[in-house]
Amino acid sequence: MKTNYIALSVPIFFILIGIELAYTFYKKLEYYRLNDSIANLSQGIGSQLVGLFMKSVLFVGYMYIFEHWRLFEIPNTIWTWITLFIGVDFFYYWFHRMSHQINALWAAHIVHHQSEEYNLTVALRQSWFQGWFSWVFYLPLALIGFDPIIFLTLSSFNTLYQFWIHTRTIKSMGFLEYILNTPSHHRVHHGSNPKYIDKNHAGTLIIWDRLFGTFQKEEEEVYYGITKPLASWNPVWANLHYWKDLIETAKQSDRISDKIRVFVKPPGWFPEKMGGFQFAPEIDVVNYKKFNTETAVNVMVYAILLFLLALGLGSYQLFYFDKLTLVTNILIASFAILCMLNCGALLEKKRWFVGAEYLRYLTGLLTLHFLYRLDFNIKWLLGILLIHMAMAVYFFIIKYSYRNA
């Protein structure tokens, strides 16, 4: 039985986010914005939900190579764990580096870099589709003969390590800066300053960046985000917008070879007829402004309720996915994603929010029907139905003020 260490760590994540939030509030540090934090956490929920449906399919490749093509029988010893830890970190570096240097891979990874803030919620802002290709980079480990369960364990801990480095509250860590990936190193990685772009791709050990020439020390102030800001709280659009840009560029390219290059060249590459390579612009410090939206208090409360509903359903599905039918899992995931989608639309005052909210209520009732057919605990069903109805009443109360906001 495989243990989902990341799912088990979710409560710890939120405790640490709460501690950082309390510290920044006490120190009067403006490191958090509610709308940005909701958007970050929504991406994390969506990433986990999509991953639940893909986890078995993606693991098949590693398992197949291990079972049929492995070169060595490697014993389960402490040295095996140490060697595999280094191997996982090494191949993570190359996966991460290629995700910044190949447009088709960057189209997925870009999600993690879209936030213009830098705090622990950004660590949970993950792509919904990155896992569809990241596993390929680790296949050499299966070929060598490293056990899949040990690989999954160490890969999970490599991911977990990177949570705490998404903070501005820790400055320098002394001699550890030469060995480990630290908050300072990773702040550089999230910078949109031209000198910081495509630097510090490390997972746990910064030695790979030092060895392969991608290391950059944190020097001037870091401006976070991507060079062309997303300017949206929509979690679905965040995962698709760069694909739209690539497809439009490919359509405008005359030669077949250029259409292909659009997807395999680095971000910033364009055909000569479209001006050639476009380098990242310097930060306009004077006119720099983060994307933000103003939201009435009663509307923000409803947005928070939508997010909390998605969080609760997502957490439930992480632990009970294997005990539910495929149709029920699809409905729960769809309902949770609609909650997050509508939350973003509400914060942006999108006109289609009202229609999408009706769809969410219908999906919710259909989901409750399927849970009832599975003999779901009737008390829980009634509680969920009560929340559903209370939110519906609140929705009709705020709808008028929303439309006139």
Is residue 42 pLDDT above 50, yes or no?
yes
Task: Report CA-CA distances (Å) from 18 to 21, 119, 312, 405.
Answer: 5, 11, 17, 31
Q: Categorize the per-residue pLDDT at 381 as very low, low, confident or very high, splitting at 50, 70 and 90.
A: confident
User: Averaged over 99-115, what is the pLDDT?
Assistant: 98
User: Which distant-in-sequence residues (6+ apart) come within 8 Å of 164 by Cβ?
Assistant: 16, 120, 123, 183
pLDDT of residue 385: 86
In the predicted model, is pLDDT for residue 364 greater than 50?
A: yes
Q: Six-digit token pair at 85?
A: 């830890």
Q: What is the predicted pLDDT for the residue at 1?
A: 47
Measure Cα distances from 332 to 102, 314, 344, 363 in Å. 34, 8, 19, 9
Average pLDDT of 9-37?
96
Structure tokens that stand for 228 in this block:
């062309």
Q: Tokens representing 206?
A: 């910064």
DSSP state of 221: P
**DSSP secondary structure string for all residues of 227-283:** SS------HHHHHHHHHHHHHHHHHH--SHHHHHHHHHSPTT---GGGTS--PPPPP
Percent of the chain with pLDDT over 70: 98
Alpha carbon distance 5, 147 (integer Å): 17
In whole numbers, what is the pLDDT of the chain averaged over residues?
94
pTM, 2 dp = 0.94
226 neighbors 342 (Cβ within 8 angstroms): no
Closest CA to 185 of 163, 216, 214, 162: 216
Please say if the pLDDT value at position 379 is more than 90: no
Q: 3-state DSSP call for residue 166?
A: coil
pLDDT in tens, 274-331: 999 999 999 999 999 999 999 999 899 999 999 999 999 999 999 899 889 999 999 9
Start-to-end Cα distance in the chain: 51
Percent of the chain with pLDDT over 90: 84
Give 218-254 pLDDT, tens digit per residue: 999 999 999 999 999 999 999 999 999 999 999 999 9
Q: Closest Cα to residue 111, out of 85, 138, 132, 91?
A: 132
| Spatial separation of the C-alpha atoms in residues 253 and 239, rounded to whole Å | 23
